[in-house]
């Protein structure tokens, strides 16, 4: 058990909330784990930091309820953070992402608690960005408190989610990563016949691409629209998941067995993670070197080649 970490599960009533919690309770005492439901997402970031500061443990780990932990994720991130210089604000791991089909950056955000009070001063105004936490950590990097990308696969993301949540997520993705849309559409169309999650993802992305409505990181937005779509298609929303639906061993096996084929193999080959590097990411030039930019470039390239072959 990891005793010196406060864990904040940031929930939006995801289908995997109880699963996420039971996996974390195998790594940290139950009394150190908090489930919050603040909306919008910027309010959840603030609340998580406030809890971490109030509990006064050396480390505060924030994880969204759609992320399911791999074995020893907390321990690995804790040891990695302890190897970093004291000014390091946050360490981020890697996740096996259901919707992207690859291992990518994201998931656990492992913070040094003594920097959180200062960090709250850099939380952007709601509605000014779709990435409030990313904006915050990049702003802190500019003033000497970098975050670090670790080459540690700490869990899986977006598996077994409600159809309605997948629709909303991918509606938002159309705005967060518009340059990814061509390749995501190619991937999802290829696999939608065998995976209804990807069919719903495709519908969400397509709807977001043609809508001019302002979007927020808020589960209630597009909820009615998603339910109307389910009714129109004759789909029934998924039921609740039991807390023991996944074990740590199952998560480890899913990660170990991940062998992307076809278009996903080409996508995975584009990823390279530089371990132990401070991340600041300020300015357009730096942003273009991010993993998201590299994936977007590959998406466009592979999509063009597929079109040429067709």
Higher pLDDT, 121 or 176: 121
Backbone angles phi, psi at 65, to 5 degrees: -70, -5
- Separation CA 15–CA 19 (nearest Å): 8
Instruction: Clarify whether residues 71 and 107 are in a common domain.
Output: yes
Instruction: Clarify whether residues 99 and 168 are in a common domain.
Output: no
- Separation CA 59–CA 82 (nearest Å): 10
3-state secondary structure of 276: coil
| 294 pLDDT more than 50 | no
Tens digit of each residue's pLDDT (9 = 90 or more) over 128-171: 777 899 999 999 999 999 999 999 999 999 999 999 999 988 88
Tens digit of each residue's pLDDT (9 = 90 or more) over 183-240: 888 889 999 999 999 999 999 988 877 766 665 555 656 677 888 889 999 999 999 9
CA proximity to 23, closest of 242, 299, 288 = 242
| 298 pLDDT more than 50 | no
Angle at 64 between CA 253 and CA 193, to 5 degrees: 55
User: Where is 154: in which H helix or E strand?
Assistant: strand 147-157
Q: Which domain holds residue 86?
A: 5-157
| 237, 256, 279 - which closes a domain | 237
> Which pLDDT value is given to residue 225?
83
> Which pLDDT value is given to residue 305?
43
> Which pLDDT value is given to residue 261?
78
Instruction: Clarify whether residues 130 and 171 are in a common domain.
Output: no
Instruction: Clarify whether residues 64 and 138 are in a common domain.
Output: yes
- Separation CA 22–CA 156 (nearest Å): 15
> Which pLDDT value is given to residue 218?
54
User: Is the residue at 262 inside a domain?
Assistant: no
CA atoms within 13 A on the CB side of 286: 9
User: What number of other Cβ atoms are within 10 A of residue 239's Cβ?
Assistant: 8
- Separation CA 116–CA 123 (nearest Å): 11
User: Is the residue at 293 inside a domain?
Assistant: no
> Which pLDDT value is given to residue 208?
79
Instruction: Clarify whether residues 74 and 210 are in a common domain.
Output: no
The count of domains in the chain is 2
> Which pLDDT value is given to residue 247?
98
pTM listed for this prediction: 0.84
């Amino acid at each position: 058990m990891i005793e010196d970490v406060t864990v904040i599960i940031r929930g939006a009533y995801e289908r995997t909330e109880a699963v996420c919690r039971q996996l974390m309770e195998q790594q940290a005492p139950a009394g150190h784990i908090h489930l919050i439901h603040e909306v919008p997402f910027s309010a959840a970031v603030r609340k998580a930091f406030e809890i971490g500061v109030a509990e006064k443990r050396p480390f505060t780990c924030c994880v969204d309820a759609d992320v399911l932990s791999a074995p020893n994720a907390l321990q690995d991130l804790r040891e990695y953070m302890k190897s970093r210089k004291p000014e390091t604000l946050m360490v981020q791991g890697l996740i096996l992402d259901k919707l992207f089909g690859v291992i990518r950056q994201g998931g656990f955000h492992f913070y040094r608690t003594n920097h959180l009070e200062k960090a709250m001063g850099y939380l952007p105004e709601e509605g000014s960005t779709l990435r409030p936490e990313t904006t915050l950590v990049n702003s802190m990097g500019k003033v000497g408190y970098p975050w670090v990308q670790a080459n540690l696969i700490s869990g899986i993301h977006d598996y077994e989610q409600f159809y309605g949540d997948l629709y909303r997520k991918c509606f938002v993705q159309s705005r967060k990563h518009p340059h990814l849309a061509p390749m995501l559409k190619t991937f999802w169309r290829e696999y939608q016949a065998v995976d209804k999650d990807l069919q719903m993802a495709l519908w969400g992305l397509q709807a977001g691409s043609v809508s001019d409505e302002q979007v927020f990181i808020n589960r209630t937005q597009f909820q009615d629209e998603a339910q109307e779509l389910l009714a129109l298609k004759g789909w029934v929303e998924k039921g609740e998941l039991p807390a023991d639906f996944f074990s740590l061993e199952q998560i480890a096996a899913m990660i170990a067995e991940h062998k992307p084929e076809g278009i996903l193999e080409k996508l995975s080959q584009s990823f390279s993670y530089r371990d132990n590097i401070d991340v600041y990411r300020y300015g357009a030039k730096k942003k273009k070197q991010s993993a998201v930019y590299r994936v977007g470039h590959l998406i466009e390239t592979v999509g063009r080649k597929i079109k040429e072959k067709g």
